[in-house]
Amino acid sequence: MLVLTRKAGQAIYIGDKIKVKILSISSSGVEVGIEAPREFNIVREELLERVKDLNIKASKINKDSLDKLKNLIKESGEAKEE
């Protein structure tokens, strides 16, 4: 990991397309501005972790729910045949 020290108003470039600028520094945090082409996804880490956790939770369907879903699908298919 590269660690840099920057002051408010200073910036760094990642490649030639991404600019990261320190907008302000206060006791509550650092305000960072990012200029990048639209094809780059920029996501806060805590949001990415939340989506990851939700995806893991959603993938853990319990057996009873799965059996109910199978029965509904089966019943729906039988109703169409009639």
Q: What is the largest CA-CA distance in the chain?
A: 73
The 10s digit of each residue's pLDDT in 22-72 is: 999 999 999 999 999 999 999 999 999 999 999 888 887 778 888 888 889
pLDDT band at 81 (very low <50, low <70, confident <90, very high): low
Q: Which residue in 36, 38, 6 sits closest to 23, CA to CA?
A: 6
Give the Cα separation of 45 and 52 in Å (integer).
11
Q: What is the pLDDT of residue 75?
A: 84
Sheet holding 11-14, edge to edge: 11-14, 18-26, 29-35
pLDDT band at 80 (very low <50, low <70, confident <90, very high): low
Which pTM value belongs to this model?
0.62
Res. 12: pLDDT tops 80: yes
Give the Cα separation of 37 and 17 in Å (integer).
7
pLDDT band at 82 (very low <50, low <70, confident <90, very high): low
